DNA sequence: TATTGTTATACTCTATAACTATA
DNA sequence: TATAGTTATAGAGTATAACAATA
């Protein structure tokens, strides 16, 4: 994971990261931004993802586990801790007596909205280091590689497409 | 965090992610690759980072905590669990009777080498979705934004520069 | 006195297994 | 019987605070 000679698009004298290092570093930087913003609201990454997922859904514990990639027991505990903080609510499913529906409370919705808008500002500020033209190019290239990767994995990158 | 109209660099008909979504998604994908490769070797992300940091250093517990962003007590426990698995070794510092030097064992070095070369192959395969020319452009743009961000934070992106 | 590291304690997060209630 | 959810248990990972040993 070392350095490499300067490439076409870099200003004279600037060193280049290897493609692997560039993506790995970028991933860490973005992940750390999210982590720090979440921490300011006393949220972990997984709690933030929980609230995020609930913004446009009222899933059962089981569905939530699927969305977050967690076992049902882990999901149960996660929801329990969020409920104790007043961020989410549980209610029995009207159609299946075994199921529980999870939803955001007003407090949970406020918290996730604030955290995510701050995170968006962080990313915008980070990208503001590039001129508009390069930013557009970067976004387009990243979109292309993500679309190709999602297609390979059989995942819908743009929900709502048929 | 929605979609946006297609941009300059996208093929006709392809939808665009917003810049924020593009970076966030990219970060998740890369992070998940690292997590899964690490898990195949029964390593967590933090254990993997520990081994990675030790590849070219024999730091004290304190220095290690600084490098990993952990409290000394957390670092002590992390090293203890890695030592129990035979991946790292502790030895008293010859120059300071209070300090402990941490180093990779042969087993630890093998493990981190294998995991990181697999991770590098994952990233390469991921980037292979783009033609060489675009890959170079992407890497250069990411390097530029990381360099600018690191400079702003007062961090050395290229260790060894003076 | 200050610093280094460990330990005690507490909490989050995770999984497996056993259990209850419902289908 | 099968499924949904909770609970008991175990372990990693984290921090704060108290401690021992060394500087």
* Residue B64 binned pLDDT confidence (cut-offs 50, 70, 90): very high
Mutate to test the interface with B, among A133, A138, A150, A159 (most CBs of B within 10 A): A138
Nearest by CB: A146 against B9, B17, B18: B17
Question: Is a pLDDT exceeding 90 seen at residue A108?
Answer: yes
CB-CB under 8 Å, A147 with B18: no
Closest chain A residue to the Cα of B149, Cα to Cα: A126
Distance from the Cα of B40 to chain A's closest Cα (Å) equals 17
Looking at residue A157, its pLDDT comes to 75
Please name the member of B15, B22, B136 whose beta carbon is closest to the beta carbon of A158.
B15
* Average pLDDT over every residue of B106-127: 96
* Range B53-80 burial, b when 16+ CB lie within 10 A, else e: bbeeeebbbebbbebbebeeeebbebbe
Give the confidence band of A12 by pLDDT, cuts at 50, 70, 90: low
What global pTM score does this model have? 0.89
B91: Cβ under 7 Å from strand C? no
| Segment A72-88, tens digit of pLDDT | 999 999 999 999 999 99
CA distance A26 to chain B (A): 7
Structure tokens at B121: 């192959």
Which nucleotides along chain C are within 7 A of a protein C-beta?
3-8, 12-18, 21-23
Tokens, residue B43: 């390593």
Note whether A146 contacts B8, CB cutoff 8 Å. Answer: no
The set of residues, in sequence order, having a beta carbon less than 8 Å from that of A44 and lying 6+ positions away, is A38
| Interatomic CA distance for residues A146 and B30, integer angstroms | 11
Average pLDDT, chain B: 90
Determine contact, residues B39/A69, Cβ cutoff 8 Å: no
Token pair in block for residue A9: 């698009």
Q: What share of chain A in percent tops pLDDT 70?
A: 89
List protein-proximal bases of chain D (any atom < 7 A from a CB).
3-8, 12-18, 21-23
Q: Which residue of B has its CA nearest to A138?
A: B138
> Does B20 contact A120 at a Cβ distance shorter than 8 Å?
yes
A39 CA to C4 C1' distance (Å): 28
Angle at A135 between CA A132 and CA A140, to 5 degrees: 130
Distance CA B149, CA B162 (A): 18
């Amino acid at each position: 994971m070392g350095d490499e000679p300067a490439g076409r698009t870099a200003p004279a004298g600037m060193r280049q990261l290897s493609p692997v290092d560039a993506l790995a570093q970028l991933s860490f930087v973005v992940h750390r931004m999210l982590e720090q913003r979440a921490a300011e609201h006393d949220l972990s990454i997984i709690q933030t993802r929980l609230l995020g997922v609930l913004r446009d859904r009222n899933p059962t514990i089981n569905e939530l586990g699927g969305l977050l990639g967690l076992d049902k027991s882990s999901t149960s505990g996660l929801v329990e801790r969020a409920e104790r903080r007043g961020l989410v609510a549980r209610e029995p499913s009207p159609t299946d007596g075994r199921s529980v529906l999870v939803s955001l409370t007003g407090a949970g919705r406020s918290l996730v909205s604030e955290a995510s808008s701050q995170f968006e500002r962080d990313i915008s500020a980070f990208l503001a280091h590039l001129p508009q033209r390069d930013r557009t190019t970067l976004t387009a290239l990243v979109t292309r590689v993500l679309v190709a990767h999602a297609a390979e994995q059989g995942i819908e990158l743009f929900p709502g497409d048929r």
